[in-house]
Amino acid sequence: MTLAKTIEKLVALDEIRIINEPLDIVLEIPHLAYAEVKKDNGGKALLFTHPIDSKTGKKFDTPVVMNLFGSYKRTEFLFGRDVEGVAAEIEKLLHMKPPQGFKEKIGMLGDLFSMKDIFPKKIKGCGACQENIALGEAIDLYDLPILTTWEEDGGPFITMGQVYTQSLEGEVVNLGMYRLQVYDKNHLGMHWQIHKDSSHFFDQYQRAGKKMPVSIGIGGDPLYTWCATAPLPYGVNELLLYGLIKKEAPKLVQSLTTPLWIPEDLDFVIEGWVDPEKMALEGPFGDHTGYYTLAEHYPVMEVSAITSRKNPYYLATVVGKPPLEDKYMGWATERIFLPLLKTNASDLIDYHMPENGVFHNLILAKMKPLYKGHARQFMHLFWGSGQMSFVKHALFFAEDAPKLTNYEALSIYALNRFTPKCLFVSSGITDALDHSSPEALVGGKLGIDFSFTYAPQKPDVLDSNVLLKKIQALMSEACEVAQFMRHTANPITVVGVNKSRTLINTAKLFSSLEDHLRIVIFVDMEHNDLSNIYMLMWRVVNNIDAQRDICVEKSIVCIDGTRKSAIDGFERQWPGDVNCTPNIVEKLKRLGLWDLEITLEQKFQV
């Protein structure tokens, strides 16, 4: 289903909001999309029919489409089927056994026949994506309405590019999604992180001293974009997943100036070559962690062709603080890949990545514990499995636990059985976007085992004002206290501080309050609302490194969720929050386009 056909159907379903007001590709369009996805149920898809660049006076003929996957309903619509049904089909395939008799052989024919269309099909000639062709001096990335999302971004970025690459010998192909910074009319920054398949291919070309071909697709069937994010094992073509879901072979045509094959129905294709000898500073960029990722050197692609279909659309997304469009894309990934996780963890029942844990920062899992230490075995398994290895904090629950998405009930279940002996701290690789570990790409890992029942002793809970005075007597930096889950065996005390020293050994300082405290979390007073549990969770799982920031003294566990600096021995640069530019928001409100409720603006710290 082409992007144009998708939009037509979304109009009929009243699932798309059409913005005819001319809006700037710098901040205005992405800010409005950022507000839309914060609405209940993710808001609507957005179609901006008159994008402009006010700095150059340019008016674009190409409309911009955003928030396409921004609801559970639209995500399933774009899949064309029930997401849970896809997971069940994969599970069936994984457990398929050789037939034992004639009837079983006949029965299996239907399953095998349905798989004939999952393999990409190469077709001769040009595709719809090559109806318009720009080569040589005609190449100009600024002819596309590529967005600048945040005020401190290093420039415009392609945010929903399908990056098609292949290994040096061409035997392995990959479809991934990486942000792509526009440097000038014919150069892009390739933010493929060191752990990604395209980066592994790049290493091969670098060792061989050869330029690496890259083709970038934008638009086409929206499912291509989701497939680009799928965490498949190395060597498995992501377009196979497209064929499995759609029950039709993706039709591919060869790029004009690279050897790569791309779907023929894409809206845009940007082709080019990456010189392994050339690197450039990429970023900063306000990313899906809700923080800016800092500028670093990455490979550069020199564009050799830009092709498009007639009347194309430009597909983009916006990232920043949760909730975002990736909440819904991640939900589909979570459901579909559960059967694959179970192949290595047969006693795994379910898992879930809360949106305010920004996926790689927090995972919840339910399992059937069979022996002591079983959950810790699972922790090692998760931290050694593909993209799951980036997860910083993993919480494991027994099969009698509430549903993993019932956060309140699950919290009560956990806190009524937690003791410090549940904690397991290790180390491993971290996502390149993680800013809190002492060194890039490596940091602490926290596992918590709730799969066995302990009998923690409930403390004598004090009034918050009384407790604050007792805490202030021990540390003058404390400004405010908020208590949560006071009725459980492990109430959580959040302490807002104006930090002037390291808080690493605070648990020892608090040992005199053992009768009243169990779990203590420190956050900065600046930029935090101690009553906002959603954003406190986002902040803390972003800001802690388990090996450095968790301290245990008797029955008290202290967690330092503050920003780190030289007083903590932290030598890296700490990034700033991603925030909307106030005058842009005010303009969108004056135009009557920004209609996000003020309560949601405050809740999500827009």
Buried-state track 189-207, b at ≥16 Cβ within 10 A, e below 16:
bbbbbebbbbbbbbebbbe
Claim to verify: residue 413 and residue 477 sit in the same structural domain: no
Domain assignment of residue 389, yes or no: yes
Q: What is the pLDDT of residues 505-527, one digit of tens each?
A: 887 889 899 999 999 999 999 99
Residues 138 and 272 grouped into a single domain: yes
The structural domain count of the chain equals: 3
pLDDT per residue over 246-258, tens digit each?
999 999 999 999 9
How do residues 55-94 score in pLDDT, each as one tens digit? 999 999 999 999 999 999 999 999 999 998 888 888 776 6
Confidence band (pLDDT; 50, 70, 90) for 174? Answer: very high
Q: Does residue 563 lie within any of the structural domains?
A: yes
Is the pLDDT at 473 greater than 80, yes or no?
Answer: yes
Residue 103 pLDDT > 70: no
Residue 446 backbone dihedrals phi, psi, to 5 degrees = -120, 125
User: Could you tell me if 510 and 555 are in contact, meaning their C-beta atoms sit under 8 angstroms apart?
Assistant: no
If DSSP states are collapsed to H, E and C, what string results for 19-65?
ECCCEECECHHHHHHHHHCCCHHHCCEEEECCEEECCCCEECCCCEE
Do residues 300 and 393 share a domain?
A: no
Phi, psi (deg, nearest 5) at residue 361: -95, -20
Q: Could you tell me the pLDDT band of residue 455, with boundaries at 50, 70 and 90?
A: confident
Mind listing the pLDDT tens digit for each residue in 554-563? 899 999 999 9
> Looking at the domain assignment, is residue 559 inside a domain?
yes
For residues 484 and 548, membership in a common domain is answered with yes
Is it the case that residue 324 has pLDDT exceeding 80?
A: yes
Instruction: Report residue 222 as tokens.
Output: 């929206």
Residues 409 and 472 in one domain: no
Instruction: Provide the pLDDT confidence category of residue 114 given band limits of 50, 70 and 90.
Output: low
Cis, peptide link before residue 323, omega less than 30° from 0: yes
* pLDDT, position 94: 60
Residue span of the structural domain in which 220 resides: 3-80+117-315
**Beta bridge partners of residue 27, listed in sequence order:** none
- Give the number of other CB atoms < 10 A from CB of residue 376: 16
Structure confidence at residue 108 (pLDDT): 40
Residue 44 shares a structural domain with residue 170: yes
> What pLDDT is stored for residue 159 in this prediction?
98
Q: What is the pLDDT of residue 100?
A: 54
Is it the case that residue 101 has pLDDT exceeding 80? no
Q: Mean pLDDT, the chain, as a whole number?
A: 93
Residue the block writes with tokens 């003929």: 61
Domain containing residue 193: CATH number: 2.30.110.10
Do 271 and 385 belong together in one domain?
A: no
* 23 and 59 share one domain: yes
**Strand (E) or helix (H) holding 105:** helix 102-114
Q: Which pLDDT score, from 0 to 100, does residue 92 have?
A: 72
pLDDT at 189: 97
pLDDT of residue 113: 47
Q: What CATH code is carried by the domain that includes residue 397? A: 3.40.1670.10
Residue 99 in domain: no
Domain-located, residue 157:
yes
**Per-residue confidence (pLDDT) for residue 115, from 0 to 100:** 64
Give tens-digit pLDDT for 350-395.
Answer: 999 999 999 899 999 999 999 989 999 989 988 988 888 999 999 9
Q: Confirm if 214 and 192 have CB atoms less than 8 A apart.
A: no
Q: What is the mean pLDDT of residues 136-153?
A: 98
Mean pLDDT of 131-139: 98
Question: 482 and 419 in one domain?
Answer: no
pLDDT of residue 95: 53
Question: Does some domain include residue 338?
Answer: no
Specify if 339 maps to a domain.
Answer: no
Residue 504 confidence (pLDDT) above 90: no
Same domain, 547 and 474: yes
Closest CA to 552 of 363, 424, 415: 424
| Residues, the chain | 606
pLDDT above 60 (res 178): yes
DSSP string, 314-353: EE----SSSS-THHHHHHHHHHHTHHHHHTT-TTEEEEE-
- Confirm if 196 and 230 have CB atoms less than 8 A apart: no
Name the domain boundary from 388, 417, 450.
Answer: 450
Residue 335 is assigned to a structural domain of this protein: no
Do 414 and 484 belong to one domain? no
The reply to whether the predicted model has a pTM over 0.85 is yes
Same-domain status, 433 and 547: no
Q: What is the pLDDT of residue 449?
A: 96
Cα dihedral 76/79/85/87 (nearest 10): -110
pLDDT at 233: 83
Residue range 476-492: average pLDDT?
97
Report d(CA 340, CA 170) in Å as an integer. Answer: 26
pLDDT at 112 over 50: no
